[in-house]
Amino acid sequence: MEALVLVGHGSRLPYSKELLEKLAEKIKEKNVFEIVEIGLMEFNEPTIPQAVKKAIERGAKKIIVVPVFLAHGVHTLRDIPHMLGLEEKVEIEDNNGHHHHHEHEHLELPDGVEIIYRDPIGADDRLVDIILDRAFGK
């Protein structure tokens, strides 16, 4: 059974989690995945490991993780893969030569469970219409 886990950053304000919950509900309505969960990197629950564990408890053997971020960055390239147990923590240096360190819960996957980690949203042409709508107050 396949599951989809949407991953967001999280925030001290409610909007980040609410947005992810709304997106998950809209995806559930399409009946593409039997299991749709959300996980937030920081400040909120469920955390990313909690979301993956819940999908596994519900019977998922293949978990597709989509970061709901526009572009790659420290979180999508280092922190989230580390939290998913996909790779060792790597050092990422910013433009000023600073190294960033976040401590996050690390996930241990049971045998027979596969995680597929996808790219963030990127410069998708479908975003252009949304940006133009916002520009005109829609």
Q: Active-site residue numbers?
A: 9
Instruction: For residue 115, give the H/E element and its range.
Output: strand 114-117
- Give 76-85 contacts, CB < 8 A, sequence gap 24+: 76/119, 76/120, 79/41, 79/104, 80/7, 80/41, 80/48, 80/117, 81/117, 82/106, 83/41, 83/47, 83/48, 83/49, 83/107, 84/48, 84/49, 84/52, 84/115, 84/117, 85/109, 85/115
